[in-house]
Amino acid sequence: MSTTRRRRPALIALVCLGAAGCLALAWWQWTRYESASGTFQNLGYALQWPMFAGFCFYAYYKFVRYEDAPPQPSTNGDVTEIPAGLLPERPKPAARNEDDKTLTEYNAYLAELAKSDAQPEKKDRTDR
């Protein structure tokens, strides 16, 4: 027996538990709608939750079908790569302006700081 067949009862129990939970939430929203403080939003949720429960069973059905016979890959000449020129190109870095005096001074300042960080600190010997 395959491992997928052995796991099927647990999966069925999980699907039923999920659907039961969705139906319980639908019932809860319906009772909220019928209460004095209920709104149409509660009615909307009460109608949505049964659809979610149905989706649990639909998803299980599709899972079993794909498990038994996975879909065949299409070989009808579909494009599988993105053609060149379809996506925008990455921006190029800005050209460096060597004439910018402020930038040159700032870079020199940063280089000076880097040098001072690399040198070991000299300790003051004030205590004699």
pLDDT in tens, 47-67: 999 999 999 999 999 988 888
Query: Could you tell me how many residues make up the chain?
Result: 128
More confident residue, 85 or 23: 23
For residue 2, the model assigns a pLDDT of 57
For residue 123, the model assigns a pLDDT of 61
For residue 40, the model assigns a pLDDT of 94
Distance CA 31, CA 40 (A): 12
- How would residue 117 be classed by pLDDT, with cut points 50, 70 and 90? confident
Cα distances from 67 to residues 8, 45, 102, in angstroms, run 11, 33, 66
Q: Where are the domains of the chain?
A: 3-68
Distance CA 23, CA 121 (A): 71
